[in-house]
Structures are given as C-alpha cells and as structure tokens.
C-alpha cells in the first residue's frame, strides 16, 4: 500500500507485479496530485457496501467494470462481487474498478471445504494477474496445486483512495479487506471454503489486510455477521504504519528536515488523521504474521531487533524510500515482543521482487486446522 510520506527516492526497488503493470509504488506523495487531490478522479456509482450481493459471476457489460484480460496461460478463474461499490482508481489511471475478486478453485477432487488464501495486490496493480507475475508464480500456482482456493481482491485503500472521502462525509474507505473476508465466510458453502482456514496475503498497499486483521472483529459473537478476521497474514513490502509522524519517530533522527517532511506529509494528505497504524494495533492476542522485505534492515550494531535512527538525508542517499522502508517489519516485531506475543516470525529481509512469497508454505501449512484436504508437499 502507498505510504503517506513525501520522498525524493520514490522509485520502487523491486516489484511483485500483477496486471496491467506496476507504477512506482513508494510513498503516497510519489504522485501527490493524483493520490491526494480530492478531484483526481470522479466517483462512479453509489458507495454502498453490501455483504451478500448476487453470487453470479460479474457481468462486466452491466456493471461498467473493466474485464480481466484474456490470458489462456493463467489458471481458470471466475470474478465475483463481494459488494456493490464501484470507483475510479487513482493508481490505475482512474479506470473503473469495483468490489470484486478473482476466484481460483483449489485443484483435486476432494469434497471437503478447502483452506483459502485471500490476496490483496499492491499499488499500480489490480486483482487480475498475468502468468508471469511473481505473485501468480510463487503463490497462486503452488497454492491451487496444493488444494487451496485463492481469491485475488479489488479493494479501496484509505490512502490511495482518500479522495472518495469527499462523498462520504469526510470518512476514508478502510474496511474492504474486512468486507471480503466476511463475504467469503458468509458464502463458504458456495465457494467450498473452510471457514477455519482463511489466510490473508498482501503486497505493499495490501498491508491494509494486516491492519484489518489487527482490528476488533466486525462480526462474530452475537453480531449475526461472519467474522472479518483471517487466521493469519503473510506480506511482502509491508507498510506497518500510515501515520506521518509515527514513521518519522520510529525511523528518523528528529531534525529539521524530518520535521519538514512530516509537515509536508500532513499538509498534502487532508485525511491523514484517519490513516491507521498496524504497529499501534498489536496486542497480546494478535494473530500470526510473517513479513518479507526487499531491503536490508537498518539496526543498531550487535542487535537483531533494535532500529537504528537515520537522517532523512541518509534514507534518501542509501536508496530507501518511505513507502517500502525495511524496518517497517522490525517495528511491528518490536510491538509483538512488547506484548510477549510469539505469533510474529522474525521477518525476512533482502527478498527480491521475483522471489516474493516464496516459502509461504513454511508459515501457512502448520496453521491449517481440521479436516481440510491433504495438502501436497512443498515443492511438488
């Protein structure tokens, strides 16, 4: 997901691509005019999320949504709605998108409900994947072959899509990651989903799904609604806080340049106070997390979890950007450790874009519960 922080080092150092192509996915203000300008895109349709829309495949001609590209090399999938909202996506040239997901059925003939992976794409991408994208090759193909369903989700983001707040009483969209989990749980029989084995994955802006997992459940209990919480989260290039000052405090020497960057970030993002923080949301019961980043952690010498503060000038000079700063992962780990919560693995560093999500089975397989279909061995 995009980071609400200005940057002079705004190019992406690696990518985990999806169709139709990636734009530089660094901080929000890489393209401030497009992302923060409330008039950057014109809203389409009525913003009214529903948890139980029609379960027929999406009729693109009727909906006005952009259909997925014809790609015979991609595993077969169908596209469904999990809500009725459509909007113009700033990170995709204001193309019309909506609350949909591409659904890949797990391979095999087992009639048992299947564990399901729910994938949230990065900025400049959509839910539609190509046969050459790393997320497709490293996650979707082995997951489907192993017997997992995979849902690749289109969703609104509180930073990138903050312009929508002008039509919603000043409220930024934050909850699509929860809505789609609720929809999949509520319609588990239709999609043959094991409701005890739903796992969120995200790339960059897809870290919204991590934030959502760390929030109170939108359903469950006596609410009468399905739970909005997945059973674990695996992320690549995560952003674990979207707060301008918190990023500065966690990672930067507090000098005048850092103060200027925070002021610029907040001034350019009129809704910044609503942007969340996964770091602030951790507690003693937070669910399992595994994170990968392409950069090398910036740590105090002789430690493996103590963040070294650097100047903003050094951050730029060293080729980092505020969108994908490696120590986002360490900041989250520190919070898990502060609560004596063992559910977060030590994060992986220096994972290239072409290798994103490789090894996810080591994290997910031990978490699969109950009578799900027997999973194929890793590497098969």
Query: Residue 328: inside a domain, yes or no?
Result: yes
Query: Residue 380: inside a domain, yes or no?
Result: no
Find the domain containing 249 and state its range: 28-367
| Domain count within the chain | 1
pLDDT for the residue 111: 82
The pLDDT confidence band at residue 378, using thresholds 50, 70 and 90, is very low
What mean pLDDT is reported for the chain? 85
Q: Which residues are registered as beta bridge partners of 102? A: 79, 152
| 181, two tokens | 């989990």
CATH number at residue 124: 3.40.50.1820
Total-model pTM: 0.88
Query: Residue 165: inside a domain, yes or no?
Result: yes
Query: Residue 6: inside a domain, yes or no?
Result: no
The pLDDT confidence band at residue 291, using thresholds 50, 70 and 90, is very high
Q: Are strands 149-153 and 78-89 parallel, antiparallel or unpaired?
A: unpaired
Closest listed residue to residue 240, CA positions, set 250, 231, 232:
250
Query: Residue 123: inside a domain, yes or no?
Result: yes
The pLDDT tens digits for 120-172 are 999 988 899 989 999 999 999 999 999 999 999 999 999 999 999 988 899 99
The pLDDT confidence band at residue 32, using thresholds 50, 70 and 90, is very low
Q: Which of 87-91, 338-342, 369-373 has the lowest mean pLDDT?
A: 369-373
Query: Residue 232: inside a domain, yes or no?
Result: yes
Closest listed residue to residue 261, CA positions, set 4, 5, 25:
5
Q: Is the pLDDT of residue 319 over 80?
A: yes
Q: Is the pLDDT of residue 8 over 60?
A: no
Query: Residue 361: inside a domain, yes or no?
Result: yes
For 317, phi then psi, to 5°, come to -65, -30
The pLDDT tens digits for 39-86 are 468 888 654 444 444 556 777 766 667 777 777 778 999 999 999 888
Query: Residue 168: inside a domain, yes or no?
Result: yes
**Cα separation values, 42 from 26, 175, 368, Å:** 24, 21, 43
pLDDT for the residue 3: 56
Q: Under a CB-based contact definition with an 8 Å cutoff, are residues 284 and 224 in contact?
A: no
């Amino acid at each position: 997901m995009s980071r609400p922080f200005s940057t002079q080092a705004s190019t992406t150092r690696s990518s985990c691509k999806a169709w139709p192509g990636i734009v530089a996915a660094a901080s929000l203000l890489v393209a401030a005019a497009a992302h923060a300008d409330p008039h950057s895109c014109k809203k389409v349709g009525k913003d009214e999320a529903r948890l139980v829309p029609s379960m027929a495949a999406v009729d693109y001609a009727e909906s006005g949504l952009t259909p997925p590209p014809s790609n015979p090399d991609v595993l077969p999938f169908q596209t469904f709605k999990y809500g009725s909202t459509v909007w113009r996506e700033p990170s995709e040239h204001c193309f019309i998108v909506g609350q949909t997901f591409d659904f890949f059925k797990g391979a095999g003939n087992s009639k048992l409900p299947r564990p399901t992976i729910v994938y949230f794409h990065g900025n400049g991408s959509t839910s539609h994947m190509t046969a050459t994208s790393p997320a497709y090759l490293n996650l979707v193909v082995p997951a489907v072959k192993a017997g997992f369903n995979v849902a690749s989700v289109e969703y609104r983001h509180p930073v990138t899509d903050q312009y929508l707040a002008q039509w919603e009483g000043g409220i930024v969209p934050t909850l699509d990651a929860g809505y789609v989990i609720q929809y999949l749980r509520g319609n588990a029989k239709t999609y043959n989903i094991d409701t005890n084995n739903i796992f969120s994955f995200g790339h960059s802006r897809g870290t919204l799904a991590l934030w959502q997992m760390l929030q109170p459940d939108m359903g469950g209990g006596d609410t009468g609604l399905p739970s909005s919480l997945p059973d674990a989260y695996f992320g690549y290039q995560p952003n674990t806080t979207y707060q301008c000052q918190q990023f500065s405090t966690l990672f930067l020497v507090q000098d005048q340049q850092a103060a200027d960057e925070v002021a610029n970030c907040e001034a350019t993002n009129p809704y910044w106070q609503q942007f969340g923080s996964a770091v602030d949301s951790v507690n003693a019961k937070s669910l399992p997390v595994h994170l990968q980043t392409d950069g090398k952690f910036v740590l105090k010498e002789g430690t493996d979890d103590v963040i070294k503060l650097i100047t903003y000038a050094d951050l730029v000079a060293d080729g980092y950007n505020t969108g994908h700063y490696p120590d986002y992962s360490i900041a989250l780990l520190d919070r898990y450790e502060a609560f004596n919560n063992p559910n977060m693995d030590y994060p992986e560093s220096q994972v290239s874009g072409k290798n994103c999500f490789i090894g996810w089975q080591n994290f997910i397989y031990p978490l699969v519960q109950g009578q799900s279909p027997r999973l194929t061995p890793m590497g098969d």
